[in-house]
Amino acid sequence: MKFISAAAAVVVAASTLPAVAGETHFSLTGGLPFMVIPEVSYHPNDQQRWFANYKVGLDDGVSAGFEQAVDDNNRHALGIVAGALGVRNGHKEWCGSDSESGSVGYTMGCAIGTALAEPFDNHTVNGLGVSYSYNRHGLSERGLRVRLEWGYGRISGADFDKEGFTGGFAVGYQF
């Protein structure tokens, strides 16, 4: 359900953007920690870009931001981003106290269970960050896009509450 509601939000945002003067683009990127990132962006001019995306990977989340070109060819851009910045491991204690906690079977079962669960115990860090992007043909043009994001945020869950720095990168194509 989380995916459907986030996808619906991106579609609604994309459908309202063409009513504003400027250009809209769709990008599909992937990287780490988010492996698939569909994105819609609005370009009021050749040097600026507003975007919203849905990130899916080790966990999922939504983010939005603004980028400003910083060179004459509009290939390099710096920006700000709010929302999903990266993921961090929840470090949940998978093996609690148990009456058989000293047995060999319990200890081996706990070790195997933890090893299988650990890669999937990731949670999205939501916060505020900065971005750098390289756009092969210019910020508002079709073509290869590389973006790095880094920021500070928070994850919350039933078993933990953490803050920290995180980031990621994505490589893709702007249509």
State pLDDT tens for residues 56-110. Answer: 887 888 999 999 999 999 999 999 999 988 877 665 555 655 555 567 666 666 6
Q: How many domains does the chain have?
A: 1
- Please tell me the predicted confidence (pLDDT) of residue 135: 92
**Residue 165 falls within a domain, yes or no?**
yes
**Residue 64 falls within a domain, yes or no?**
yes
Q: What stretch of H or E contains 21?
A: none
- Please tell me the predicted confidence (pLDDT) of residue 58: 76
pTM metric for this prediction: 0.68
Closest CA to 81 of 43, 42, 50: 50
**Residue 102 falls within a domain, yes or no?**
no
Closest CA to 23 of 135, 143, 141: 141
Closest CA to 163 of 64, 60, 80, 85: 85
- Please tell me the predicted confidence (pLDDT) of residue 139: 87
Residue with more model confidence, 97 or 31: 31
| Confidence category of residue 19, pLDDT binned at 50, 70, 90 | very low
The region, left, alpha or beta by phi > 0 then psi within -120 to 50, assigned to residue 83 is left
Domain that residue 67 falls in: 9-89+123-174
- Please tell me the predicted confidence (pLDDT) of residue 161: 67
**Residue 23 falls within a domain, yes or no?**
yes
**Residue 101 falls within a domain, yes or no?**
no
**Residue 111 falls within a domain, yes or no?**
no
- Would you say residue 10 has pLDDT above 80? no
**Residue 36 falls within a domain, yes or no?**
yes
